[in-house]
Structures are given as C-alpha cells and as structure tokens.
Amino acid sequence: MEIKALKNKPDFTQDKKKADKYAGFGKLLTTLRERDVPESIVSDINAEIDTLNRFSGSNKDFSKQLRKSKSAILKVVEKELNWVAQNHYQHTWMALGMTVFGLPFGAIFGMSMDNMAFLGIGLPIGMAIGIAIGTSMDSKAKEEGRQLAVDA
C-alpha cells in the first residue's frame, strides 16, 4: 500500500505562511514515502490524508486541521517506529529542563539568599541543561537513522 497524495488547494497556498505549512506537510509525506513504512501505519497516514482531502471548511480551519493531522502522523510514527522529526528531543527537553532542573535550582538559589525573587535564575540554567540533553538525543537519533528530514 502506498501513501496517498494530498490534493492541491490553490486558494490555501496563496498565503505565504499557509503555503509553507502545506509544503511542510508534503515534505513529511515525501520523507515517509522514501522509507519502509508498515501497512498498518500507512493506513493510519492515509486516513489523515483522506480527512484533509475531504475537508471543506475555511482556510483558517484547514490550517488547524493540517497542523492536527501532521501532529497525529508524527505521533503514530514516533510511537510505532520510534522515528522523530528534527529537533524533537531538543524542544521536548527544553521545557522539561526548565521545570525539572530550573525550578529546583531557582528555589535553592532563592532560599540560600533569603530572597525568593531569585527563583527565576534557575529557569535559564534548566533550559540550557534541557537543550543539551535534547541535542544529544537528537544527534543519537540521527546516527541511528531514526530522524526524519522534517521539522515538527
């Protein structure tokens, strides 16, 4: 079974931002066509494409549905095949680093200086730690061939 093509929507692609979103979705489909994707996942991907091809709402609503469909496809591919988009782990770990590492470091700074206004100092520290962890995980995924050539 082959991954279906997304129907062209000329009225949607006239706007530069929307055209970029549309092209990004097309790039995701092209990248997945180049890989060996199991039939069960291809059927899930084709269901999302059918949803987009049948969509008859406004351009704003189509943009939302395009984003939802891209996210759904990336989640299925990540869960089932362990393939991720570029910078996936970096984005994920940046937020985790701020909450898991940054807030406790900030609380420690604040308590040690008897001024909880220093709580915010920990956030950039946690962000840096999270970005470092995520970047190393992204490079590992790239080396293992698990990284898709698309942005999340």
pLDDT single digits (tens) 70-87 = 999 999 999 999 999 999
**Residue type for 72, please?**
A
Mean pLDDT of 1-14: 86
Cβ atoms 36, 27 nearer than 8 A: no
**C-beta atoms surrounding 13 within 10 Å:** 15
**C-beta atoms surrounding 66 within 10 Å:** 21
pTM of the model: 0.86
Q: CA separation (Å) from 24 to 63, 66, 113, 149?
A: 12, 10, 48, 10
Query: What gap in Å lies between CA 110 and CA 118, rounded to an integer?
Result: 5
Model pLDDT, residue 31: 94
Judge whether residue 143 has pLDDT over 90. Answer: yes
